Chain A
Amino acid sequence: MIIDVVFFGIVAITLVGAFLAVSLKNVFHNALALILCLFGVACLFIYLNSEFLAIMEIIIYIGAISIAIIFAIMFSQPMYQKDEKRNPVKIGRSLAIAVVFLGGLLWTLRQAPWPNAGTQGDYSLQAIGKSLLTENILPFEVVSLILVIAIIGALLISNTKEPRE
């Protein structure tokens, strides 16, 4: 089926992007691979009937977060010229821990009796907006507060021309 072929292509893009994002030595290449991976994730969101979140993923993750990371790499001048040295012991240990996590997740995936509620329902943007402004109004406001605090905190942290106090 064509829908499955496209699905496997998207999964391949996502996983290859993620693999390159953690394995390449150069930070700048990592950031570019992260963009590839996030694009694949946005396509998966479309498969999960959430077009709104696919667009938000592209706008916020690719358009803002990845670009902010690339800006940070560019601002600190020699960061993208230095390749980091590798320590095989550390990589082996991290790989072991990651494989343990993956094994646990796969075991759960096979064992757990997932409920099945069908895929029919109201995925629309209107429903999301109504939910955000009625039953989820408190988390919505708290998130806006957190964003303001994060912006003020980032400005305070990065503005260090003169030592405070």
Chain B
Amino acid sequence: MRFRSMGAREIAAGVREKKFSAAEVFEECLRTATDCEDRLSALAAVTAEAGRIQAKRVDEKVAKGEDPGLLAGVPVVIKDNICANGIRTAAGSRILGDWVPPYDATAWSLLADQGAVLLGKGSMDELATGVSDGSAAAVAAGYVPFSLGSDTGGSIRLPASYCGIYGLKPTYGLVSRYGMISYGSSLDQIGPFTRSVEDMELVMRVLARHDPKDSTSVSKNEIFARRTNTLKGRRIALVKEFMDFSPTLDQITADAMKRTIRLFEESGSEVIEVSLPTVARYAAACYYTIAASEAYTNFARFDGVRCGRAAEAAGLREMFETTRSEGFDGGVKSRIIVGTYLSEPDCYEKYYVAATRVRTLIAEEFYKTFDADRIDCILQPVTPSLSGKIGELNLYTLTANVAGLPAFSLPAGLQIIGPRWSDGELLDIGLEVEKISGAPKIAYFLQRR
């Protein structure tokens, strides 16, 4: 088990310096995945054949003296809603059937261009209900040093937190979503899972590129150039309204909050309290209105004509209805029904347009608070409860998606949320915390005995 605990940076350096080959790394990671999969089910598909070809290509480049890229020979898992050319992509849903995308998502092609090698597609629940659980588990168990997920209301930060690893929901617009199967288009972001802050930064430097194929993509790669190697003088905010929920916090999360607050204070940061009353009261309603409306539009494309599953039926309505009814599960249907209802003339103004206006108030409250109080980041738990029901879990995460903010979840079940485009600074803060607290360890208990 030579490579299992290695980070992406160490593997890429070793491959470049010919200490070991990309093929060796890939075969060992594949064995780890094979050993653990019967207990973990982290992968929707293992891409052994494609991965071996990619690893061979990296080794050939190294042999010829060509630059194999920043991620030379680093195995990766990508969530099953991110397309890779020629690899079945189902997004956890029957509706896509055995669809094989004929193109790469930009995020995956950026990684591949830098020598990353695809080990598999991360499993997920269906479409709108699907957190990036497989991608997170694959990193925690040491199949791969990093993976990609997507976060619409917490789907990166929640599984990262449960698995004790890092997860970044980047600022909206920083990473292209081209080739990702959309859920809530104004909320969705692709982001990485890693076991170290150093690897998170490496992967983000590769991913943060302007992409003309995603009209929301903005060129901001320079945000990872700055370095502030201290916590001294940082202003860390606790949100009063979310701290009010603290009696309901699981003990393990409450203890982690106390420890981390003390860590910041002892390192010379100033921990202050701020109030975000509009965020606390209206963000969830705003999120669910916008997410359902956008899901309704995005999932209208699954009709049995363009791609994926198609039911046999004589007429058009029957074909649409049978395809969609057999293809979607109940949770997705419920969201589509809410979105359909919100599109009706009576409801459109009352709920959807109102939500877009409330979203302005929420974003302004965040922006003003960051600015007026000169706050570097907000510290709060990722979830109020480790064992809450679906729908209650993401109360603390969806706020960052509503306002388009970056949010970095730390292995202790906490997240730091910063102003827009502060992704680099959040990683700087995370790195200093990691120097004191240590990096997460691999979940070896999952290995077959």
Judge: A and B partners, yes or no: no
Q: Which residues of B contact A (CB under 8 A)?
A: none
